Structure 1
């Protein structure tokens, strides 16, 4: 019995309890060393706020937030365990891949590099594990920020929208992403909640699919405008291209003739591209047809980028939105993203008098306003006419004022010179011919821009309506006054109508100012679900593109 016992003990195999104890202690020591190495690596990289392997190495913006997130876990990896991605890490990489569907650039978040790193990790390389884990956190932080508030602040693209409050909101969402919620939930929390944003995302997927199979519609040059019944060698390509886009479903045209069904298809295309819907193919329609699908894709991506600048609170408030390249205004009653009022508008000329993008509050409605002529219009347009004709002011119902008093309506040469020096200014009295019409809507801003009525109604029927000096002319100002004064004590539709007809000058300060957003996006989705792609009349798409490229290049230079 005893020999048997000791016989087992004298074999080359050690007793089980001795083996387990020794390997456990050894494994524990090794694990502890690896853990310490990973922790030290993460702390060292946080101190430097840079990971050289990343496309944008510097992450100073997120360092304090990430340090706090890792400090709560003794600077141990969050996404990698025993050399493998945990469930949250796997989900994080899936979320990074979704950046493409949002119109963002996956390489900005090192998506491919992280996929490669995590697929080849060595559990013994603790430094690599620490580096990769922190790099994953940096990528998530950047994505949450960018999908919520955009990759660059508007000012870098020359846009005067203050997004400092939005930036704070975005950073709060980034913090939440490391505070107990999953990467997927953090991403969904950060995505813009506007209905239009989701529509644009769907449109982006559609146009990417179009661009994946064709470059665009290749048309021969147009010798003249093409009218129904005309013949043209480009008819087969036109019909094929419109069928590909879904604008044309009729039978193939015969004898290169521009026939009824194809005319209907062109009209549908025109309606979706901000063109006059007349079925006539002139240079504007030909140019729109010839835009490569890849350019249309980029239009949508840039429009989604701009939407990230906007506060989601606007979706719940009474608000007015003007889209400059669409020459359109919508009024929203609040608590819904469906407009209760829309109208055509005239905006600033594309050369020299562009309407600025801004976000402000309409604070007052002025019936029968004076028009205080801007100094630039006085110098460039009125002074030459006044010098030629001393009676010019009288003929235009204008007066020269100074210190709040009327000085003259027939100024002397000396007074005209004083006007040119800015000592006196010009203003137009209220009346039927007043440039502001019967009412103006004030939202104080440094550009002296406002919305107003106009006695010149012809421009509203044009498809392209950039004719003003910068202010926004309304096709239905009475409805706008009614919208703004709804709920204002003592005001109803009847009183608004009476004020519009009266010669009495009256300023009504709104009890509840209404946000107004003067915006610029060349990609929209209308109420029928149709994607609307517009001409970049001010060149702001190109400007935003250049700003994004400059930002990316600046961040990449941090590697050097």
Structure 2
């Protein structure tokens, strides 16, 4: 192999693994640095980018990633790997060799790791890096979701990047000094300040048949300890069928039925085998342990009637598949999120936030400088310090056919 060919190959690997900067020479220098420190395990931790997804740096890195992936495709791309459904540290066999080679091709594992048939800590670290780049839980162990992602053809990945670079260009202008980006297919929220990611939050977003909308707005207000008025669509699709099976559901979940006159009526007086319930208002009492909005609702003016909020079902944030809502967005670590939103609002430090939540009182906090908020749909992007990222096209907006969904949707509560 010629020296020129080797250099191009290393440049591709550097771009794919997220250790490259804009120029090829620094990329190669960092790749060399990786090799020097490889035996010490210094790079076993998964990198997390501080570069905003919607930024000129991300756009440039994505354009470079397209070049890198095309170059890799011209060299044969990557093979399909046949692996056991479960594999982790200590496993042995030809499948481990195939996995090593697959991870090396995309720069998630350094070639210095060799062709050993033992699933060691270096393979585990490479799997973690790959999982982080495709939005899976970074367990470092092989499962069905990881295998599906490993076997997405390179041609599809290139088309994803080409489709999404157009979206990134449309957001490459000045979005504000402080802003929020909710990337729906990634089920992830970023807060951005002065060109850097301040906080990241896993999110629960709309189901395939109840999609979260694309929008551009500002966040003006936080509602603490809110009540929840059940939307008409949820009354029809979820609540009525639930009451037919579980007559005590409303009472157990502290949801009151309010008539048009404002009087509270008993669930037992409603004919649940008809559409009578659609004529009433259903309102859930405040309470972070059971209220569907949790302790906090973040108002977002929009024609879609959606908003962001806390949730009592915090277990969803540990799932790979977080398309679970009826269009609104549930936010992990919501106290950190609203503390960032309110940081420039006098009298609303973290201690005050915790005090108000603990009080159980319904209190509204107006944000002194309403924060721009963008709900976007991006399934592929790159950052100079975080590698090339891919997510399932869960709403089929990329036009590439059904996404290789890496996890199945389970039953969700309303």
TM-score of the pair, normalised by structure 2: 0.76
Do 1:433 and 1:455's aligned partners in 2 also have CA atoms closer than 8 Å?
A: yes
Deviations 1:200-243 (A, max 9, x none): 122222222211211322323x4533333334544433322322
Give, in angstroms, the shift of residue 372 of structure 1.
1.1
Q: CA RMSD in A?
A: 2.6
Q: Residue 398 of structure 2 aligns to a residue in which SS?
A: helix
Q: Does 2:149 align with 1:288?
A: yes
Q: Does 2:203 align with 1:341?
A: no
Residue matched to 2:252: 395
Q: Does 2:260 align with 1:413?
A: no
Structure with higher helix content: 1
Residue matched to 2:230: 373
Residue matched to 2:180: 320
Do 1:452 and 1:474's aligned partners in 2 also have CA atoms closer than 8 Å?
A: yes
Give, in angstroms, the shift of residue 415 of structure 1.
8.5
Give, in angstroms, the shift of residue 438 of structure 1.
0.7
Q: Does 2:216 align with 1:216?
A: no
Residue matched to 1:9: none
Deviations 1:93-129 (A, max 9, x none): xxxxxxxxxxxxxxxxxxxxxxxxxxxxxxxxxxxxx
Q: Does 2:300 align with 1:443?
A: yes
**Distance change >3 Å, CA 260–CA 435, structure 1 → 2:** same
| One of 290, 300, 309 as aligned partner of 2:161 | 300
Provide the rounded CA distance (Å) in 2 between the counterparts of 1:403 and 1:508. Answer: 30
Give, in angstroms, the shift of residue 399 of structure 1.
0.7
The 5 A counterparts of 1:48-447 are 194-220=56-82, 222-249=83-110, 250-254=112-116, 256-310=117-171, 312-314=173-175, 316-333=176-193, 336-349=194-207, 351-403=208-260, 405-413=262-270, 417=274, 419-420=276-277, 422-431=278-287, 432-447=289-304
Provide the rounded CA distance (Å) in 2 between the counterparts of 1:318 and 1:243. Answer: 38
Which structure: larger Rg?
A: 1
Provide the rounded CA distance (Å) in 2 between the counterparts of 1:309 and 1:358. Answer: 14
Do 1:439 and 1:453's aligned partners in 2 also have CA atoms closer than 8 Å?
A: yes
Which structure is higher in RCO with an 8 Å CA cutoff and minimum separation 6?
Answer: 2
Q: Residue 378 of structure 2 aligns to a residue in which SS?
A: coil
Give, in angstroms, the shift of residue 440 of structure 1.
0.4
Do 2:228 and 2:283's aligned partners in 1 also have CA atoms closer than 8 Å?
A: yes
Residue matched to 1:75: none
| One of 364, 382, 398 as aligned partner of 1:507 | 364
**Distance change >3 Å, CA 267–CA 332, structure 1 → 2:** closer
Give, in angstroms, the shift of residue 371 of structure 1.
0.9
Do 1:253 and 1:262's aligned partners in 2 also have CA atoms closer than 8 Å?
A: no
Residue matched to 2:51: none
Provide the rounded CA distance (Å) in 1 between the counterparts of 2:261 and 2:99. Answer: 62
| One of 481, 485, 493 as aligned partner of 2:342 | 485
Do 1:195 and 1:337's aligned partners in 2 also have CA atoms closer than 8 Å?
A: no
Provide the rounded CA distance (Å) in 1 between the counterparts of 2:330 and 2:271. Answer: 35
Provide the rounded CA distance (Å) in 1 between the counterparts of 2:122 and 2:56. Answer: 36
**Distance change >3 Å, CA 332–CA 227, structure 1 → 2:** closer
Do 1:332 and 1:341's aligned partners in 2 also have CA atoms closer than 8 Å?
A: yes
Count of aligned pairs between the two proteins: 347
TM-score of the pair, normalised by structure 1: 0.57
Residue matched to 2:316: 459
Q: Which runs of 5+ in 1 are unaligned?
A: 1-191, 546-560
Give, in angstroms, the shift of residue 430 of structure 1.
0.7
Structure with higher strand content: 2
Do 1:418 and 1:424's aligned partners in 2 also have CA atoms closer than 8 Å?
A: no
**Distance change >3 Å, CA 313–CA 544, structure 1 → 2:** farther
| One of 383, 390, 396 as aligned partner of 1:539 | 396
Q: Residue 376 of structure 1 aligns to a residue in which SS?
A: helix
Give, in angstroms, the shift of residue 453 of structure 1.
0.6
**Distance change >3 Å, CA 262–CA 484, structure 1 → 2:** closer
Give, in angstroms, the shift of residue 383 of structure 1.
1.4
Q: Residue 326 of structure 1 aligns to a residue in which SS?
A: coil
**Distance change >3 Å, CA 415–CA 425, structure 1 → 2:** farther
Q: Residue 386 of structure 1 aligns to a residue in which SS?
A: helix
